[in-house]
Structure 1
Amino acid sequence: MSPATGSPAAPDVSQARALESSAGLARVEGSPFLHAGVAGTARERISTVIIDEHGAMARVVAGRIAALMRARAAEGRPIVLGLATGSTPIGVYRELIRLHREEGLSFRHVISFNLDEYYPMKADSIHSYHRFMWENLFSHVDIAPANVHIPDGTLDRAEVEQACAAYEAAIDAAGGHDFQLRGIGQTGHIGFNEPGSGEQSRTRLVHLDSITRRDAAADFFGEENVPREALTMGIATIMGAREIAILATGEHKAGVVLRAVEGEIDRAVAATFLQRHANTTFYVDDAAAAALTRVATPWLIDEVAWDEHLAVRAVTWLAGKQQKAILKLTQADYAENHLTSLVARHGSPGAVNGLVFNMLGAKIRGKSKLPRGLKVICFSPHPDDDVISMGGILRKFVENANAMTVAYMTSGNIAVFDHDVRRYMDFLTRLENERLGEHSTVRKLADTVHAFLQRKQAGEVDIPEVQDIKRIIRESEAVSGIEVMGLTKDHARFLNLPFYQTGKVRKDPIGPADVKIVAELLRELQPDLIFVAGDLSDPHGTHRMCKEAIDRAVAEVYAGAAAASRPEIWLYRGAWQEWPITDATVLVPLSQEELTIKIQAIFKHQSQKDSAPFPGQDEREFWQRVEQRNKGTARELDQLGLAEYFAMEAYVVA
């Protein structure tokens, strides 16, 4: 099944601009590279479209699928789709459902073949891709069940090889894939084609890489519960499609996107094989595109439109590459690294060096240069993001007599281990026995909780009683954390947004009820400044969804208001990534004592200590990440020749 001859070519730049226009995207004025568009450089071996707004990305990709579906239906022929699971394509599926319901898009002519399935896996399991597809797409459209094909994770092992061959035969009989929708794993795998997969591989049973299993651990509430094998289409099966779309979002995908799009073809990175496909397009957000040459170092490709921000990026990059302080960079350093046009613009290396040195220095704000006497809301997606990501500035804001409110947007209850629930119930039971007397209701609650936990299967949704206990555990930890910062329980608001309350790792989309809760808080407190999590590498997107709720609420509350009456918005990161010093607007130095206090506040979140339920790929504890990251930011400034500090947090003023 080789790509069909005469298939449409990958989108060119003009097509990308049309996509951008149709998605309602705004181009970045003065940007030295295409914000949304297909690569025009020889370094990118696969067409790559950057669309930062995830809703727009979903509309563009779903629109392409819908156009193909309608074209085939008009010809009276079926269309064959290859579909993937996971959080990345959900937006596309939701848009396809909307098109079906509101614009009459019919799936009657669709034949689908799913990419993979865990093995062994019951079809009705909460973890099965069979269940995922029916819950997130098929049950909402008019596709014929007989046209849905998903690898069978219930087969006896002796039946697997024959079933895989039959799966391939069914794809061939349908005429091959017209369109494949795919994500990309952090190892560069597509489907479960792990490092080392061959280019000629077909549908088969595979052993899962340790990184893949660690990625899936959150869904299964522990790596030990993740199956060690899976059924997957092979590289050759995927490459047989006439058109392939790869979706990638978040900072944690930047490295592998760079490797797949610009690197050499390598069996260790399965996605690099897509460079040989005639019609593959990567759709990525800004974060996933950050390492691409046209984004990270566009001056290495072509002439750029220099502005001060780009100058800061270029000079900081050059200083790091040459291992010099900024003020020691020479004409030769600039000339050897394609930056003579920057020197020419400013007249001399010294002028450029001085400009960038002073701009970076101006970002540094100690307590005396931070706001005083303002009404401030810190929006914390989970009940520990406040102290993890901005514990240093939070304490400084308290000391500066700002009126602080910490608004915890979700309960974070799924990130509490069952053994913590048992421990707290044991405490309450002992308290009842010694102090509360025989009329207490604790014993009944304890019996209900223990009975459920005894029969609970891995990943099973908790009963309401257990969900409430886990919520209360995290709320009490959050209060304890901000008390270290000089605040009290009266400064905490627990919003418990509805989108999070599924009891599962995968959440509902942000809806009017979520936006209403945030909007009501804004109207009540009328803040002068709000802190918002801009950390988009959160493994399951809660940070991104919380930011969406805030953005929509701000737009609603301040619609038509003058800029001066709107709250200033400061974006923080820290749990997963930190803002680069070149992107940060404000750099806040921390003393050794202040960093120690910040870490003590993080320690108050005992349910996340030692072994957090959702650590991502970083095995360090959150306090270790914070310590090394904050010290690392300070060290980077020191290496550039600026003032030396013990540690430093970074913020972007939106």
Structure 2
Amino acid sequence: MTSGPRHDAADARKARDTAPAVRGPSHVSGALTALEKIPTVVLDDHRDIAIHVARRIAEVIRARNAEGRDAVLGLATGSTPIGVYRELIRMHRDEGLSFKRVVTFNLDEYYPMPPDSIHSYHRFMWENLFSHVDVDRAKVHIPDGTVSRIKADAFCAGYERAIEQAGGIDVQILGIGKTGHIGFNEPGSGEHSRTRVVHLDAVTRRDAAADFFGEDFVPREAVTMGVATIFAAREIIIIATGEHKARVVQRAVEGPINIEVAATFLQRHPATTFYVDAAAAGDLTRIATPWLLDEVEWTPARTLEGVTWLSRKVGRAILKLTQADYAEHKMSSLVARHGSPGAVNGLVFNELGAKIRGKSKLPHGKKVVCFSPHPDDDVISMGGILRKLTENKNEIIVAYMTSGNIAVFDYDVRRHVDFLLRMHRDSGVGGAEVKVLAKKVSAFLSTKKPGDVDIPEVAEIKRLIREAEAISGLETVGLPASAGRFLNLPFYQTGKVKKDPIGPADVKIVKQLLQDA
């Protein structure tokens, strides 16, 4: 039995149509999806997406193996597919899903990049998937970030041949970058492009800066499959999560094909499906402004959204919106429901006004716990509210869930160690251990490379720096230092950008805080 574009497009449609029920609009047909040029499934969250996509991959593996041949998977890296890989590992462990007859081709790799680097996609794939399943190492293909420049073109041509010799990619997994890139096909990548070395866009390098501990350390080039290489896959699954991806998802799904947004080329592919969570779907017309496509039920929440959208759209205050404004933007049914534009305008204006909380509407004399993911999130995000809660004589605890030490720059550590040495020299503060500490810290920092995990002494100094900053923030909004609780949840303490999964120890600490409060 052979598999071609028509056959795989039918399988992809079947997989979409059997997506589990979710809150709100999912994959729907008809008027609400009239503007969508790539079929799009909206699921509640990344966990739902991971389960559904992993099941589809498992179906393909089993189907191809039943035909007597290897399944060929195109794989991606980064945070987007992590959940899918975890679910595939679970299916291998609990359901006997075998990868012995699976051939894999990864999308891309930074260049240059040694395979054992913490930033390497070789290392990423082995840590997050391959080491946990029974895949044959000889069937794993990842672009070589160490190939010499003089041999790079030959390597890329060989990568294309290897895909062809494997029978072509059955399912290609993709994420999408903020610029609409797929793989490292940056703006300007042509639809006929093949595997090659590319220069990375400034936006892409900026987005990767946190992983590399600074933009200066992000490689300027990468090896990537081309748009045509990706397009040759029988089925393509592209995943996006989070509201920061909403705009580019809308452009890729509803916008015109544009060489500046490589993902738009997938509109021409017969078996591509977008899997997105509710946040990433937020700018799709059927989610953001469904009244532009069809009649809708004007619930209180939708009325609020619709009128505020209309106000921004026409550039008029809510109380000044007119019958013509509503009519021109297909919202006449909302006016008809309430009788007049003034009635709708007044209703929404009052609802919005009620959301503005002055001091009199906040709690008085209560116990209040504010959870701050990192030190300073509290005063940055709700410093004014904390001050008002303090003025209302509430007993306030601010619980800092993680140390946030990874955000402290090494030069701040050097500055604080220098301060300790000067205090020791001039005021006799501390004993000989101050010099020992300073020597050890200085020696480590002098040889530290980007991405190296800090030694315990450096991590501890960085933790104390963040705690001192947090206390200063509390005092700025009128709270005493005693209001701060530093939980230092274990999941965060990896010393890397990548954290451990939240576990029972983390839950126990938070539970104990609430019980003690």
Q: TM-score, normalised by structure 2?
A: 0.96
Cα 1:38–1:436 change in 2 (3 A) is: farther
Equivalent residue runs for 1:460-479 within 5 Å: 460-479=452-471
> Shift in Å at residue 74 of structure 1?
2.6
Quick check: 2:73–2:171 contact (8 Å CA) kept in 1? yes
Partner of 2:446: 454
Looking at structure 2, the residues matched to 42 and 509 of structure 1 have their Cα atoms a distance apart, in angstroms, of 40
One-letter code of the match for 1:4?
P
Who is 2:7 aligned against?
6
- Which residue of 505, 519, 522 corresponds with 2:511? 519
Distance apart, 1:9 and its partner CA: 3.2
* Contact 1:3–1:239, Cα closer than 8 Å, also in 2: no
- Pick from 301, 307, 326: which aligns with 1:334? 326
Please give the per-residue CA displacement for 1:335-373, whole angstroms capped at 9, x wherever unaligned: 111011111111222221221121112212211111112
User: 1:398 aligns to what SS in structure 2?
Assistant: helix
How far has the Cα of 1:52 moved from its partner? 2.6
Candidates 213, 223, 235, aligned match of 1:231: 223
Q: How far off its partner does 1:75 sit?
A: 2.8
Report the Cα distance in structure 2 between the residues aligned to 1:332 and 1:75, rounded to whole angstroms: 62
SS of aligned partner of 2:69:
coil
Aligned to 1:18: 18
Deviation of the 1:111 alpha carbon:
0.5
In 2, distance between residues paired with 1:207 and 1:278?
Answer: 29
| 1:261 counterpart residue number | 253
Offset of residue 327 of structure 1: 2.0
CA distance in 2, matches of 1:293, 1:511: 38
Deviation, 1:437, is 6.3
Contact 2:198 2:222 in 1 (8 A): yes
Partner SS state of residue 56, structure 1: helix
Seen in structure 2, the aligned counterparts of structure 1 residues 354 and 397 have a Cα distance that, compared at 3 Å, is same
Contact 1:49 1:283 in 2 (8 A): yes
Are 1:38 and 1:47, in contact at CA under 8 Å, matched by a contact in 2? no
Specify the code of the residue in structure 1 equivalent to 2:151.
E
How far is 1:513 from its partner? Answer: 1.8
Superimposed CA distance per residue, residues 464-485 of structure 1 (whole angstroms, 9 cap, x where no aligned partner): 1111111111011101110111
- Tell me which of 101, 108, 115 is aligned to 1:109: 101
Note if contact 2:41-2:276 (Cα within 8 Å) is conserved in structure 1.
yes
Q: Distance in 1 between matches of 2:210 and 2:353?
A: 41
The percent of aligned pairs where both chains have the same amino acid is 67
- Report if aligned partners of 1:3, 1:278 keep a CA contact under 8 Å in 2: no
Structure 1 equivalent of residue 152 of structure 2: 160
Q: Would the aligned equivalents of 2:27 and 2:39 in 1 still touch at CA under 8 Å? A: no
Amino acid of the structure 1 residue aligned with 2:389: F
SS in 1 for 2:7: coil
Q: Hey, what's the Cα distance between the residues in 2 that align with 1:114 and 1:326?
A: 51
Does the CA-based 8 Å contact 1:20-1:37 persist in structure 2? no
Q: Which runs of 5+ in 2 are unaligned?
A: none
How far does residue 285 in structure 1 lie from its aligned partner after superposition? 1.5
Matches within 5 A, 1:601-640: none
Q: How does 1:486-565 map to 2 (within 5 A)?
A: 486-525=478-517
User: C-alpha distance in 1, partners of 2:185/2:278?
Assistant: 26
Give, in whole Å, the separation in 1 of the partners of 2:299 and 2:87.
38
| Matching residue of 1:144 | 136
| Alignment match of 2:267 (pick from 259, 266, 275) | 275
Q: Please tell me whether the aligned partners of residues 424 and 431 of structure 2 are also in contact (alpha carbons under 8 angstroms).
A: no
Distance in 2 separating the partners of 1:57 and 1:38: 17
- Alpha-carbon distance in structure 2 between the residues aligned to 1:142 and 1:48: 32
In the alignment, the residues of structure 1 paired with residue 28 and residue 340 of structure 2 have an alpha-carbon distance, to the nearest angstrom, of 35
CA contact (8 A) 1:87 1:506 kept: no
CA contact (8 A) 1:203 1:233 kept: yes
Could you say which residue in structure 1 is the equivalent of 2:390?
398
Distance 2:4 2:352 in 1: 50
Distance 1:438 1:501, change over 3 A: closer
Is contact 1:11–1:38 with CA below 8 Å preserved after alignment? no
Mark the CA change 1:57 to 1:8 in structure 2 (over 3 Å): closer, same or farther. same
Shift of 1:407: 0.7
Offset at 1:421?
A: 0.6
Contact 1:171–1:177, Cα closer than 8 Å, also in 2: yes
2:377 counterpart letter in structure 1: D
Quote how far apart the aligned CAs of 1:3 are: 6.8
- Alpha-carbon distance in structure 2 between the residues aligned to 1:381 and 1:147: 42
Q: Does 1:96 align with 2:88?
A: yes
Contact 1:10-1:281 at 8 Å conserved across structures: no
Q: What amino acid is aligned across from residue 266 of structure 1 in structure 2?
A: N
State the Cα deviation string for residues 575-615 of structure 1 (Å, max 9, x = none).
Answer: xxxxxxxxxxxxxxxxxxxxxxxxxxxxxxxxxxxxxxxxx
Amino acid at match of 1:159: K
Change (3 A) 1:505 1:401: same
Residues 420-435 of structure 1 aligned to structure 2 (within 5 Å): 420-435=412-427
**1:174 Cα offset (Å):** 0.4
User: C-alpha distance in 2, partners of 1:515/1:266?
Assistant: 47
Question: Is the 8 Å Cα contact of residues 319 and 345 (structure 2) preserved in structure 1?
Answer: yes
Q: Which residue of 2 aligns with 1:615?
A: none
Q: How many residues align?
A: 513
**Distance across 2 between alignment mates of 1:438 and 1:500:** 30
Q: Aligned Cα RMSD in Å?
A: 1.6
1:363 to 314, 337, 355: 355
Give the letter for the 1:8 counterpart. Answer: A
| Aligned residue type for 2:193 | S
1:414 is aligned to 406
Distance 1:395 1:10, change over 3 A: farther
Q: Secondary structure of the residue that 2:466 maps to in structure 1?
A: helix
**Structure 1 residue matching 2:18: 3-state secondary structure:** helix
Paired residue type of 2:18 = A
Q: Distance in 2 between matches of 1:437 and 1:507?
A: 37
Specify which of 33, 37, 43 is matched with residue 35 of structure 2: 43
TM-superposed deviation, 1:11 = 5.4
- Residues 6 and 270, structure 2, Cα contact 8 Å, conserved in 1: no
- Say whether the 8 Å CA contact 1:10–1:278 is kept in structure 2: no
- Distance in 2 separating the partners of 1:9 and 1:38: 17
Q: Post-superposition shift, 1:17?
A: 6.2
**1:289 aligned counterpart, secondary structure:** coil
* Structure 1 residues not aligned, in runs of 5+: 29-33, 526-654
Mapped to 1, the partners of 2:187 and 2:103 lie a distance apart of: 29
Shift of 1:4: 2.8
Is the 1:38–1:50 contact (alpha carbons within 8 Å) kept by the matching residues of 2?
Answer: no
2:251–2:264 contact (8 Å) kept in structure 1: yes
- 105-114 or 65-74, which deviates more: 65-74
In 2: Cα distance, 1:455 partner to 1:195 partner: 37
Output the CA distance in 1 between the equivalents of 2:304 and 2:6. Answer: 47
2:370 corresponds to:
378
- Per the alignment, residue 287 of structure 1 pairs with 279
* Pick aligned residue for 1:246 from 211, 216, 238: 238
Task: Quote the offset at 1:438 in angstroms.
Answer: 7.9
Counterpart code for 2:246: A
Letter in 1 for 2:490: P
User: For the Cα contact (< 8 Å) 1:117–1:129, is it kept in 2?
Assistant: yes
Residue 244 of structure 1 and its aligned partner are, at CA, apart by 1.0
**Partner-residue secondary structure (3-state), 1:113:** strand
Aligned to 2:64: 72
Deviation, 1:456, is 0.8
Change over 3 Å in CA distance of 1:39–1:460 after alignment to 2 = farther
CA shift at 1:15, angstroms?
Answer: 5.8
Amino acid at match of 2:209: A
> CA 1:439–1:317 in 2, change beyond 3 Å: closer, same or farther?
closer
Q: For residues 247-288 of structure 1, what are the alpha-carbon distances to aligned partners after superposition, in whole Å with 9 as ceiling and x for unaligned?
A: 111121111111101100000000100101111111112221
Distance 1:425 1:50 in 2: 51
Alignment pair present for 1:314 and 2:280: no
> By how many angstroms is 1:76 displaced?
2.7
- What is the identity, as a one-letter code, of the residue corresponding to 1:37? H
Partners of 1:453 and 1:429 in 2: CA distance:
16
TM-score w.r.t. length of structure 1: 0.76
Q: Which amino acid aligns with 1:325?
A: A
- CA deviation after TM superposition for structure 1 residue 72, in Å: 2.0
Question: 1 CA distance for matches of 2:142 and 2:150?
Answer: 18
